[in-house]
Amino acid sequence: MTDSLSTSTTEPVSEPLVLDEPATRRRSLADNQPTTTWSRLKENLYYLRGRGALEITIVYAVIVLAFVVYSLSDRAAFPFLSSSNLAGVVTQSIPVLALLAIGAGILMISGEFDLSMGASIGFAGVVFIRVVNNHAWPIAFVLAVGSAMLIALINGYIVVLTRIPSFIATLGMSFFWTGASIYINGTTPAVINSPGEFMTNVFTGNFGFFRAQLLWMIGIGIIAWFFLHRHRRGNHIYAVGGNAAAARAVSIKPNSVRLMAFGIFGMMTGLAAVLTVVRTDGMQPGTTSDLTLYAIAAAVVGGCSLAGGRGTVVGMIIGAALIRTVENGLILAKAPGFYIQLFVGLTIVVAATINKLMEGRTS
Amino acid sequence: MTATEMQPGAPSATTGELLRLEAVTKKYGPNTVLDDVSLTVGKGEVVGLLGDNGAGKSTLVKIMSGVVPMTSGRYFWAGEQVAKVTRPETERLGVETIFQDSALVPSMTITRNIFMGREITNAAGFMKLKQMDAITTEVLDTVVSIEGLKSAKQLVGSLSGGQAQAVSIARAVYFKRSLLILDEPTSALAVRATEALLNYLLQLKREGVSSLLVTHNLHHAYKVCDRHIVMNRGRKILDVRREDTSVGELTAAVVEGMEGVLRYREGQPLA
């Protein structure tokens, strides 16, 4: 018996520990806090690194700079700076993808995915068109956004109640809603018969060098930023995505938070659907499924972690801008269409790799 | 003769009981994980919960913190029975459990971790981050004084194991929790960090906070605990005050169970 005891009592038996007097009232942390505006700025910049937004903004700035220089040197071959191009790309295609990236990104931060985004855009678009042809456009707007939210919440409940990985659940629902929109609309494109001028201006109005979509992106972006980074509910999304057990231990309900994230996702999807159909005056069901992966790609490029818990609104928007801008550059340079697919594919892999490396470095 | 008859486990602190479990049994299917366990934690008392792997320590901790329901038994808080022991209820009572690594979110800042779920907000729910940062800085300086920390804005994922534990403890202290349950807190810590952690427990005690230290390291427990409870195969076999036991006896109890204690006492009778 003494053998087994002696092996585990190699440490000397210590006397009961006497509490150190808190001579440690040194306030080392408080004294080391930056005091001047400049040092505070430097500190904030320091803690921004490794979260995606800063890095991707630098990459984006370099790309834009390169495009600008090329365009200035040869305006005819690469008309990047022409006002029609800027108004078309920057203010039409980027905002729609940015809204989708914000939706997908917030959901991703909570630790979930929704692969039915493209199908949901198709369904909400069809709902909008069919209602707007017979009723006032605000009703159509509310119903379209509402239907997208409903689809997302159904997905959310399926994921929360069954704990099926959201990849699988929403992949299944993606087929379902594509089928549903073809069922209610048929395979012919749905068309807005007589788009009202006021409605067109609200969603896609032409303000010369920019379009109304840009204002939607800026407005929603600011709201999303304040919600995600400054509101307690936004904080809970990070907590649940980062460590659901820790969140539960402080009485945050992970499932409610996940459902809220699905709801926000649905709202963004519905809004993007309306912006898309008003711009094109129509919608062909079943043609929007690409947008799902574009949105996820934009969010990942912008620094959202596939594992949840990380991501910023600025990153999501810049991620969307980067994808659309490079796509635009390839089109202007008259590159064949498959180059764009090559590029998007590579971007996702490279961005995900960089994210992983950054996570490793800061944690 | 049962263990509890041999050593009645009364709280050593004189200020009265905080948590009392009576006849708690937990079954998972046919397996009885906890068998008729009763224990008390006094106000401001540091209790060590010892036992080998599989002794039922973790299950007991989960029941105390309300994460897992008990099959049968009663849960008293400050002398009053708690009808429904759920996590929100135990949180309201002031039970804080610090698990080895799951209590914090690595991808969030220290401030946001400390205030997670209890954010300081305005009426609309927007967080007052500056105020939260200032409080965090103050708490980290005065309560736990973590070495090598630069800012409350650091991500928890960038901290060492000891620093992260200290953040958990700072959180518990700041929110004036009344019972701190630490599940194997020292297993991932370096020697100095362990010393610091044990110091925090004593500091908490001075502020009237009870702690339950779950560990298999007897030496850590022996240093700071007023009382030791030893579990063996789902039963409580020993519940003794520090002055009535020794590291040798506790080791015998953990390693060999009740028989070990009896043999230890025969071989080396306590004075």
Q: What rounded mean pLDDT belongs to chain A?
A: 85
Q: Tokens 């992106």 appear where? A: A217
Q: CA B114 to CA B46: how far, in whole Å?
A: 23
CA dist list (Å): A38 to A29, A42, B131, B137, B151: 19, 6, 20, 20, 16
Q: Is residue A234 scored above 90 in pLDDT?
A: yes
Nearest chain B Cα distance for residue A105, angstroms: 15
pLDDT band at A360 (very low <50, low <70, confident <90, very high): low
The two structure tokens encoding residue A155: 């997905």
**What's chain B's Rg over C-alpha atoms?**
19
Q: CA B156 to CA B171: how far, in whole Å?
A: 13
Helices A337-362, A53-73: axis angle to 10 degrees equals: 150
pLDDT band at A220 (very low <50, low <70, confident <90, very high): very high
Q: CA A158 to CA A152: how far, in whole Å?
A: 10
Chain B nearest-CA residue for A234: B126
Tens digits of residue pLDDT in B75-109:
999 888 998 888 888 888 888 887 766 678 988 99
Q: Tokens 């060999």 appear where? A: B256
Beta bridge partners of residue B72, listed in sequence order: B25
Chain B nearest-CA residue for A233: B125
pLDDT the model gives residue A89? 80
The two structure tokens encoding residue B168: 């958990």
Segment among A69-78, A126-135, B138-147, B218-227 with least mean pLDDT: B138-147
The amino acid occupying position B82 is V
CB–CB of A232 and B119 under 8 A? yes
pLDDT the model gives residue A363? 46
**Above pLDDT 90, what percent of chain B?**
15
Cβ under 8 Å to B: A residues 16-45: 16-17, 19-20, 22, 24-30, 32-33, 43-44
3 state SS of A302: coil
Torsional class of A243: left (φ above 0), alpha (ψ -120 to 50), beta (otherwise): beta
CB–CB of B155 and A19 under 8 A? no
pLDDT the model gives residue B15? 56
Nearest CB to B138; choose among A17, A30, A232 = A30
Tens digits of residue pLDDT in A54-63:
888 888 899 8
3 state SS of A196: coil
Q: What is the ipTM of this complex?
A: 0.81
Tens digits of residue pLDDT in A281-314:
888 887 888 899 899 999 998 889 888 899 999 9
pLDDT the model gives residue A233? 95
The two structure tokens encoding residue B170: 């700072």
pLDDT the model gives residue A362? 52
CA dist list (Å): B262 to A7, B242, B267: 19, 18, 9
Alpha helices in chain A (DSSP H): 2-8, 28-31, 37-48, 53-73, 83-88, 94-109, 117-132, 137-162, 166-185, 197-204, 212-225, 232-242, 244-249, 254-280, 290-301, 313-332, 337-362
CB–CB of B102 and A305 under 8 A? no
The pTM for the full model equals 0.82
Nearest CB to A9; choose among B223, B224, B247 = B247
Q: What is the mean pLDDT of residues A268-280?
A: 93
Specify which of A143-147, A275-279, B102-106, B211-215 reaches the highest per-range mean pLDDT.
A143-147
Nearest chain B Cα distance for residue A239, angstroms: 6
CB–CB of A8 and B102 under 8 A? no
pLDDT the model gives residue A14? 45
Q: Is residue A226 scored above 80 in pLDDT?
A: yes
How many interchain CB pairs under 8 A, A with B? 158
Cβ under 8 Å to B: A residues 46-105: 47, 50
Cβ under 8 Å to B: A residues 302-321: 305, 309-310
pLDDT band at A359 (very low <50, low <70, confident <90, very high): low
The amino acid occupying position A349 is V
Does residue B49 or residue A47 have the better pLDDT?
B49
Nearest chain A Cα distance for residue B64, angstroms: 13
CB–CB of B151 and A43 under 8 A? yes
Q: Is residue A6 scored above 60 in pLDDT?
A: no
Tens digits of residue pLDDT in A205-214:
888 778 889 9
Tens digits of residue pLDDT in A151-207:
999 999 999 999 899 989 999 999 999 999 889 888 888 888 888 888 888 888 888
Say if CB B76 and CB B82 are below 8 A apart. yes
Chain B nearest-CA residue for A51: B107
Say if CB B232 and CB B52 are below 8 A apart. yes
CB–CB of B87 and A248 under 8 A? yes
Is the CB of A243 inside 8 Å of chain B's CB atoms?
yes
Is the CB of A292 inside 8 Å of chain B's CB atoms?
no
Does residue A337 or residue A69 have the better pLDDT?
A69
Q: What is the mean pLDDT of residues A217-241?
A: 95
Query: Which of B107, B139, B241 to mutate to test binding with chain A, by most A CBs within 10 Å of its CB?
Result: B107
pLDDT the model gives residue B5? 38
pLDDT the model gives residue A69? 92
Does residue B221 or residue A143 have the better pLDDT?
A143
Cβ under 8 Å to B: A residues 167-226: 226
Q: Comparing C-alpha atoms, which of A255, A88, A115 is closest to residue A171?
A: A115
- Give 10-residue mean pLDDT values along chain B (271 residues): 42 68 90 90 90 85 88 90 87 81 83 90 90 88 72 85 80 82 78 78 83 84 87 87 84 81 71 40
| The dihedral formed by the CA atoms of B233, B236, B241 and B245, expressed in degrees to the nearest 10 | -40
Does residue A247 or residue B265 have the better pLDDT?
A247
CB–CB of A16 and B106 under 8 A? no
Q: CA B62 to CA B66: how far, in whole Å?
A: 6
Chain B nearest-CA residue for A4: B255
CB–CB of A232 and B219 under 8 A? no
Say if CB B64 and CB A224 are below 8 A apart. no
Chain B nearest-CA residue for A6: B248
